[in-house]
Structure 1
Amino acid sequence: MKKLFLAFLPGVLFFASSALGQKDISIAQVQGETNISQYNGQSVRVSGIVTARLRSGFFIQTPDDKVDANPKTSEGIYIYTRTEPSADAAVGNTVSVTGSVEEFRRDNEPLSLTITEISMRAGRDEIRVGSKSNLLPKAAVLTVTDFMANSIDQLEKYEGMRVQIGELVVVAPTGGRIDSKTGFVVSDGAFFGVLKAVPRPFREPGMDIREYISFADKDKLKRDFPKLPIFDSNPEIIRIDSDEQIVLKTEESGRAVKPTIDVATQTEVKNLVGVLHYTNGKYTLLTDPGNQHSVSNSIKPNLLPIPTERQFSVAGMNLENFFDDQDDPEIKEDVVSPELFQRRLKKLSRAIRDFMQSPDIIGVTEVENLAALKRLAAAINSDAVAAGKPDPKYEAYLVDGNDGRGIDNGFLVKTSRVKVSESKQLGKNDKYKNPNTKDDIFLNDRPPLMLRASIDDPKTSKPFEFTVVVNHMKSFLGYNDPKQQDNVRIKKRLQAEFLARFVQERQKADPNERIILLGDFNAFQFNDGIVDMIGTIKGKPAPKPEVLNPSEDLVDPDLINLVDVIDFKQRYSYSFDGNAQVLDHIIINEVLRKHTSGFGYARLNADFPQIYRNDATRLERFSDHDPAVAYFTFDDMTAPKAK
């Protein structure tokens, strides 16, 4: 093994091993004009002013008087130290840093771009301090022209630099880390926004452009799928993280507490200043610890309309990990504290009664077991009576499924008005062959649950009969992971075809049966280029040239997705990476169209910050999904036409 030799010169300590093959170059040269550095894999020495500190690295930027004349090259860069940087990397210090140039991407972010960074190793690389307490480089002001459509690396020229946003509108609220046992949320300080005057971004049809770029043989892809739609990933979105930068910890003062920015959708935030990073699949502004921002235009939930005596309502609610405070020996769950469970019961009861106006039938997903759902029903009933309202007499229906975490589908039925004639689980034992392992595995982890019910028409006293099926399809987890995607994609396609065949059998057996499909379909209302789940279920699957995993047309007459008839700006039930998107649908068959009088989402969750979970007095944030609510009438009427 070679020995390391140290050379001593006046005032300077050099590591001989790091000096070998090193190049003194500018930050702009390392960054270059493209996403991948031409110096990738090489050992270099760069210099600049420290502008920000993270828990495992820091940023440096070229002083303003030494920048190059090329606006396409960034003057800032991230220095990865693996552990918290030493005091030599204090903000305001000018430093010289050695390390190897690397293009980094997290293993769990296969569609992310890489970030150009200087990676340091102990014993090999060094930080040399020049001067201290320097003024930081002036922040570049981001404008609408910096956010180009159909470009996923449009902010590459600012990567690692100090930037400023004058006015930003929040498009997805601040997130948080949830303790599964206590339910307590700690804000992560991160939210998404667009520059003011830019419309709210929605998920659009097609394959994510980042996946399209990752295809090795694009020519073959174009030949096989010539009409494959591509989604540009909404490059106008920028992520804001108010919790990532840290201040230098000292023995005298310790670590200063930096308040997070906790905001809801539509909030306007002014004067955001910090360093631009690329992380979590998005360009991210890491706000300075002392950033002086202002917040305005906060929103509140609006009550849903009360059904008339000629109407009834049906809802779908994802209750997000609704586990109780009792240990279930059949599953390996986190047993929540009694305090958390009571808090969740109160929030849900109040949301259902006071905001959603006590729907007649609620299809629920992500519920631990029948006992937990019965306790929710009892809480709603007792709270209603205590508030001086009629007892809705909700009863719970749930059948255990195959899910490894033990979450199931169920119903809350207002038996003061609704009569149930049948409750039946569908396809629990159906299996298919996993293309990766060749094993036969369950098709339906959370099998659909069917409920046949009726409500007496107040005018005629005749029963108005209908069938509701609650669904919770396979999630997107593994959808873009090369090791899992084949199985995930075929499973989602087969689940959609299973439900489509079920509906077709019912329609064929009784053309007059009124059918409602609802729940968390984990699919958009359009073709995502990989699997067209909703199109398949409706009887309008995407043509083979437009989707990688096509399905046949299995349904006739076609079904109607109610999200297609509401205002475009209201077409979302969930927010992911700043994109408003629909995962929760209510789909009806043609014979029910003339009895459909309204549809919408209860804006209680997707637009509000995670820390609202901690407040039992708030309606907001009992889940990460907004409930879908449909209104039906006993009368025949001209129904809205699907677009």
Structure 2
Amino acid sequence: MPSKKSARVAALTVAAVCSAASTVALSSPAQADTVAVHDIQGTTRTSPYAGQAVTGVTGIVTGIRTYGSSRGFWIQDPNPDADPATSEGVFVFTSSAPKVAVGDSVTVSGTVTEYVPGGAASGNQSVTEITKPTVTVVSGGNAVPAATVIDAKSVPAAYAPAGDSAANNSVNGLTLEPGKYALDHYESLEGMNVQVADARVVTATDPYSELWVTVKPRENASRRGGTVYGSYASQNTGRLQIQSLGPAAGFPVANVGDTLAGTTTGPLDYNQFGGYTLVAHTLGTLKSGGLERETTERQKRGELAVATYNVENLDPSDATFEEHASAIVDNLKSPDIVSLEEIQDNNGAKDDGTTAADVTVTKLIDAIVAAGGPRYDWRSIDPANDTDGGQPGGNIRQVFLFNPERVSFTDRAGGDATTAVGVTKAHGKAQLTASPGRIDPGNTAWASSRKPLVGEFVFRGRTVFVIANHFNSKGGDQSLHAQYQPVVRSSETQRHQQATLVNAFVKDVLDAQRNADVVALGDINDFEFSGTAKILEGDGELWSAIKSLPRSERYTYDYQGNQQVLDQILVSPSIRRGCDVEYDSVHINSEFHDQISDHDPQVLRFKP
């Protein structure tokens, strides 16, 4: 999949250059006179004064943003109205560094604008702002309005109302119900000074000095301190992103399970990279939760250990080979077969036609040996140039590593980037027409996406068919906090097509040999409860083994405060029925600020 980091940098660059393109002028009443902040904010997500000039808007400056493409300051009316749906805070966009100070009492005149972070096409909610302002400082040193406490009692259990079907399921025109829906509650506080206390970290600090906390520590809590995303219907409403108004150098470097002890206070903003965000002028003190990286068990004598590990765009120029090698040897205990996803070609993202990845793979294998692990052998198929998605020029692909002292690979010629692998029957057993091979690589389901790699392995005399997958990413889906509810998951259409093809291939194997051992694994880019997983599982051809774990341990990825399953290992009935089947989601990356990949590896141990 494309690098999340590169996508984030690109988005920030676009925002800085084209911020005007994300501004939406909405229909509104006639020219406005002097109004209060709560009048501007109104009782819906969009202002009744959008696109109109306002004068004499009064408030106290509660925070100043002097960086990025959205420079300005927040004001809050110290004399609120009695309506809980109307916010008393608003952002004043100045474009250049503001000439005000926190505690200033000001009057502002300007144009009310609804700014959509990420642009209207993103589906995000808008932020009500006063733009092109004229600011008058009336006095300084005033008390900042007391922060509104956001806690488990104040945030409703329901996430969002259903949108208006006549408006493409947008919630923008609905009257806010802050006592009923979490998104309405946060929207009713947009721009206001808010506070959380003793908040547990549920997504580690990222490279952009952001982290996520929960104000509901018991809400779908994971065993290690995070918040598990377990279904589309059960959202985690206590999640909140934390940024800082101060320098990034002072931002807490936190892992999941840590706590921002004391109070964290600042204006409540909304941005494209997480939705509602507390932009802190006062940060709590980081208290470590002592989280440590996990280590799985070593496979027993008669067990086959199969793993999947997304190594996040690994190429020869990376500095993470030793760390990945240590993860495979020390944390995963040198599985017999490892499906690697996101192995890039020999010169990484340089787009010069190079597709071979032997340098990348050999460098990793050598690092594994140096770390005390086995000298793995490997198999893969180079993709056609720039056809499999990911970073342009990177040519990511799946690679099989296998320990030749424990397992053998059945080589059968004929597999290449464009030839479809098939299944035949010989001596009553299923076998591949090519090993390694790719599943139906010319099918449109794999357009700009990775094609599954299939291999035939032998362990203790028994054949095991392994299918390494990396399905279409979630790029392009609407965010959970979008204005459209329920959100549109457009990317899953292609994943459903991909899952259909993989399931059909597994059926071919099982039709040829009913008791065949089949393992389909990799970065499925979808949840264990998703439609994608259901299609993959089919009518019992496969079963996602992560469902053998307690719900509090089902996650491989941590995104915006939600610990979720993206990586899966699915098995055929002959494996599932075995008495000795063990699954482990080995948490070494997703919960940590110093991760070497954004995915946690998965390991399955069983006796064929």
TM-score bracket, normalised by the shorter chain, equals 0.7 to 0.9
Quick check: 1:112 aligned with 2:124?
yes
Q: CA deviation at 1:233?
A: 4.0
Q: Give the secondary-structure state (helix, strand or coil) at the position aligned to 2:342.
A: strand
Q: Give the secondary-structure state (helix, strand or coil) at the position aligned to 1:154.
A: helix
Quick check: 1:50 aligned with 2:61?
yes
Quick check: 1:323 aligned with 2:318?
no
Match of 1:73 among 62, 66, 86: 86
Match of 2:588 among 604, 607, 622: 604
Written as runs of structure 1 = structure 2, the 5 A alignment for 1:357-436 is 357-368=333-344, 369-384=357-372, 392-401=374-383, 402-404=387-389, 405=392, 406-422=395-411, 423-427=435-439, 429-432=441-444
Question: Which residue number in structure 2 is paired with residue 6 of structure 1?
Answer: none
Written as runs of structure 1 = structure 2, the 5 A alignment for 1:4-403 is 21=31, 23-45=33-55, 46-54=57-65, 55=67, 56-62=70-76, 64=78, 66-85=79-98, 87=99, 89-107=100-118, 110-120=122-132, 125-150=133-158, 151=181, 152-176=183-207, 187-200=208-221, 201-206=227-232, 231=233, 233-242=235-244, 245-246=245-246, 258-270=249-261, 271-280=263-272, 281-288=274-281, 290-325=282-317, 341=318, 343-368=319-344, 369-384=357-372, 392-401=374-383, 402-403=387-388
Alpha-carbon distance between aligned partners in 1 of 2:469 and 2:493, rounded to the nearest angstrom: 18
Q: Percent identity between the aligned chains?
A: 27
Question: Which residue number in structure 2 is paired with residue 533 of structure 1?
Answer: 532
Do the aligned residues in 2 keep the contact of 1:170 with 1:267 (CA within 8 Å)? yes
RMSD: 2.4
Question: Which residue number in structure 2 is paired with residue 475 of structure 1?
Answer: 473
Q: CA deviation at 1:232?
A: 5.5
Q: CA deviation at 1:506?
A: 0.6
**What amino acid does structure 1 have at the position aligned with 2:139?**
S
Do the aligned residues in 2 keep the contact of 1:363 with 1:412 (CA within 8 Å)? yes
Label 1:189 to 1:489 Cα distance change in 2 as closer, same or farther (>3 A): closer
Label 1:284 to 1:361 Cα distance change in 2 as closer, same or farther (>3 A): same
Q: CA deviation at 1:480?
A: 4.2
Q: CA deviation at 1:203?
A: 2.8
Label 1:417 to 1:232 Cα distance change in 2 as closer, same or farther (>3 A): closer
Do the aligned residues in 2 keep the contact of 1:57 with 1:84 (CA within 8 Å)? yes
Alpha-carbon distance between aligned partners in 1 of 2:477 and 2:286, rounded to the nearest angstrom: 39
Runs of 4+ more than 4 Å apart = 485-489
Do the aligned residues in 2 keep the contact of 1:425 with 1:447 (CA within 8 Å)? no
**67-76 or 159-168, larger mean C-alpha shift:** 67-76
Question: Which residue number in structure 2 is paired with residue 559 of structure 1?
Answer: 542
Do the aligned residues in 1 keep the contact of 2:464 with 2:516 (CA within 8 Å)? yes
Do the aligned residues in 2 keep the contact of 1:51 with 1:136 (CA within 8 Å)? yes
Unaligned runs of 5+ in 1: 1-19, 177-186, 207-230, 247-255, 326-340, 385-390, 433-440, 457-462, 541-556, 613-620, 635-643
Question: Which residue number in structure 2 is paired with residue 572 of structure 1?
Answer: 555
Do the aligned residues in 1 keep the contact of 2:309 with 2:522 (CA within 8 Å)? yes
Q: Give the secondary-structure state (helix, strand or coil) at the position aligned to 2:400.
A: strand
Q: Give the secondary-structure state (helix, strand or coil) at the position aligned to 1:450.
A: strand
Do the aligned residues in 1 keep the contact of 2:439 with 2:453 (CA within 8 Å)? no
Q: Give the secondary-structure state (helix, strand or coil) at the position aligned to 1:171.
A: strand
Question: Which residue number in structure 2 is paired with residue 626 of structure 1?
Answer: 600
Label 1:494 to 1:198 Cα distance change in 2 as closer, same or farther (>3 A): closer
Alpha-carbon distance between aligned partners in 2 of 1:291 and 1:63, rounded to the nearest angstrom: 23
Question: Which residue number in structure 1 is paired with residue 418 of structure 2?
Answer: none
Q: Give the secondary-structure state (helix, strand or coil) at the position aligned to 2:505.
A: helix
Unaligned runs of 5+ in 2: 1-29, 159-180, 222-226, 345-356, 412-434, 483-487
Label 1:282 to 1:192 Cα distance change in 2 as closer, same or farther (>3 A): farther
Written as runs of structure 1 = structure 2, the 5 A alignment for 1:574-589 is 574-589=557-572
**For this pair of structures, how many residues does the alignment match?**
494
Q: Give the secondary-structure state (helix, strand or coil) at the position aligned to 2:63.
A: strand
Q: CA deviation at 1:466?
A: 0.9
Q: CA deviation at 1:487?
A: 7.9
Do the aligned residues in 1 keep the contact of 2:545 with 2:569 (CA within 8 Å)? yes
Q: CA deviation at 1:235?
A: 2.5
Label 1:196 to 1:496 Cα distance change in 2 as closer, same or farther (>3 A): closer
Describe the superposition over 1:578-602 as per-residue Cα deviations: whole angstroms up to 9, x where unpaired. 1111110000000112334210111
Do the aligned residues in 2 keep the contact of 1:173 with 1:192 (CA within 8 Å)? no
**What amino acid does structure 1 have at the position aligned with 2:118?**
D
Alpha-carbon distance between aligned partners in 2 of 1:79 and 1:298, rounded to the nearest angstrom: 41
Do the aligned residues in 1 keep the contact of 2:60 with 2:144 (CA within 8 Å)? yes
Do the aligned residues in 2 keep the contact of 1:101 with 1:119 (CA within 8 Å)? yes
**190-199 or 572-581, larger mean C-alpha shift:** 190-199
Question: Which residue number in structure 2 is paired with residue 498 of structure 1?
Answer: 501
Alpha-carbon distance between aligned partners in 2 of 1:298 and 1:42, rounded to the nearest angstrom: 52
Describe the superposition over 1:52-104 as per-residue Cα deviations: whole angstroms up to 9, x where unpaired. 1113333333453x33333332211111122332x2x2222211111211222
Do the aligned residues in 2 keep the contact of 1:51 with 1:58 (CA within 8 Å)? no
TM-score in terms of structure 1 length: 0.73
